Structure 1
């Protein structure tokens, strides 16, 4: 997941200071260009979050803590079910009331407009863990977790990112509307509303409510960032052992179903972002299924078991569908050139399209 800090923070074109960096003998030198505005902002919100932790034990009311937890996951579902599975990967379609609500929920998280979020995440999927990946995990945990927001983008991100098709995003009226009014919407839904509610309804102090909201924001950011970092480093690779993304249960719990990352990078058009539909480990799937029952979500794509099994036996690490031991060692390697950004990608193979199961089809 992209999880860019903010539209303000993603302005990584500033050239305030540079140092020479060399990743390895394989990768060429290029200049680090630190975005000091992002550094200062991140330092401030983290200091505010630390102060909020102190206030939790000394002054903040229980209702405020419960409100913060609700807002973390209410907004988070706007990212997972909305920006990620709906708009980036087009794993299902949704009617406008659901789309509009998901847009508001995603705005709460203050992680750039959906247009930029989905664009950058498609680039991440197409060029996973290469220099063209905005948060290349091969550059280490810190870079993939947060460091990528503190530096100007690698030239390959801009160059190769320009090849990604985003025409559908440009034509979506809800995305256009959010992008046009983003600053106002973020001010209202990410700051005014969450700070005002505790003050008005249970007389929380403005100072306490403000800092508690900063804590809510920081927690949301780190949950999103863990998908970019931890879920690309630690875990099993049952579907493709040759790529970095892994199956990480802890990240899946925190990110309401987004940690089954090895599967997701192999089959990005599956609306579950996982092989299994266990709601306790994938609340996002539960939300989409619930909305489907209400008639709000339709044309939901998922991958048949036979295709999953064939791929796991062919390129997996043997932790799933491992009865065919010989298939684990025949040298069938998978590169970023085989990666897809989601449903409708021109690189999808005919058999991949034909064998996809579509649930709740539209007329």
Structure 2
């Protein structure tokens, strides 16, 4: 009986969809995410931006952004490579500076997303719309009866992850606002550091990450598979620190790369590669090139098959009526059919005499005969276009195939 009850019912709680609207909102997230633009506007209007602070804001943007993409995402959520204590600690700190939740919280949600992509169990399913997958899923609380689950035993066994999870609020406040303010105060611009390297930088990191959930499931190509919504696009890569080759990522989630071509923009991959040179990242996982190419070829074949469906290739051979040689000859002699045989297929050339490039005479030679050898070189070695045109004239097949000898 308990298996038929929802999680809320088992725990004696009110189902999410029965809660008042205001209780469905995650007010901490809502105030943070919706308040950022207003604070940023105030800063742009009233707080001067100095060159050192601008440079620092960009540096801290990339540091905290890669804390999410290289740390939270590729290392912790997908285990695409391994890292020693110092690297994991670095990611725990810089990732917290992005203020997107703890490693444990973020990675669990992301594993659920991959497990249940594009379903109602996906916490930021693209099927619920662009707004929902970008921001709505953060503004509203999770429906615990709806969202799926994922194993995180490996994460819970990591002391750095659990330390960060238990102390996340204070670590996040320090790394997102206090630390960038202190650094900027070194050149006498604490206010600039707070607003530009703190609040505005944090807003840009938030929406860069959210674009992976929204834009990367909407804009671009299905390079490796089109079963789900993830797409590959350079624009998404540019705004997400290389996470824009998302179709590849969903097909090969444990590959430490998102971009597999040397010219594709993926600063997260470059950062991880540099770390590996110094032993700060190791066991970098790369899917076999053969398997990657299979996906590309499968999609090219699928697109080609779809395009072929728009072309008239003539009546399919298995749908043609069967004729014996005697029946074929009877149709020609008794019913005056202008039929010829090529490759055991009967063709009606009645309307082609005046169009035949070689003239009526040569075409007439084939009527009532097996013209296979004539067609394939004895009289003229016809082109692929001629073969395609001939397919439009099919009317039947020989019941007993003839033996032909042609290249």
Give the conservation status (yes or no) of the 8 Å contact 1:131–1:154: no
Give the conservation status (yes or no) of the 8 Å contact 1:15–1:33: no
Displacement, 1:275? 2.8
User: What residue is the counterpart of 1:192 in the other structure?
Assistant: 178
User: What residue is the counterpart of 2:20 in the other structure?
Assistant: 17
TM-score in terms of structure 2 length:
0.67
CA–CA distance in structure 2, aligned partners of residues 36 and 91 of structure 1: 34
Pick from 304, 310, 315 the counterpart of residue 325 of structure 1. 304
Where does the alignment leave 5 or more consecutive residues of structure 1 unmatched? 1-12, 20-31, 331-363
Displacement, 1:124? 0.5
Displacement, 1:33? 2.1
User: Structure with the greater relative contact order (CA < 8 A, sep ≥ 6): 1 or 2?
Assistant: 1
- Secondary structure at the counterpart of residue 300 of structure 1: coil
1:1-363 correspondence to structure 2 within 5 Å:
17-18=20-21, 33-55=24-46, 59-158=48-147, 160-161=148-149, 164-198=150-184, 200-204=185-189, 206=191, 208-212=192-196, 213-278=198-263, 281-314=265-298, 316=299, 318=300, 325-326=304-305
Displacement, 1:126? 0.6
Where does the alignment leave 5 or more consecutive residues of structure 2 unmatched? 1-15, 310-407
- Secondary structure at the counterpart of residue 179 of structure 1: helix
CA–CA distance in structure 1, aligned partners of residues 111 and 145 of structure 2: 14
CA–CA distance in structure 2, aligned partners of residues 189 and 211 of structure 1: 14
Give the conservation status (yes or no) of the 8 Å contact 2:57–2:193: no
Give the conservation status (yes or no) of the 8 Å contact 2:181–2:190: no
Give the conservation status (yes or no) of the 8 Å contact 2:246–2:258: yes
Displacement, 1:323? 10
CA–CA distance in structure 2, aligned partners of residues 136 and 71 of structure 1: 30
Give the conservation status (yes or no) of the 8 Å contact 2:259–2:265: no
TM-score in terms of structure 1 length:
0.75
Max radius of gyration: which structure? 2
- Secondary structure at the counterpart of residue 93 of structure 1: coil
Displacement, 1:64? 1.2
Structure 1 segments, 4+ long, off by >6 Å, are 13-16, 327-330
256-265 or 176-185: which moved more?
A: 176-185
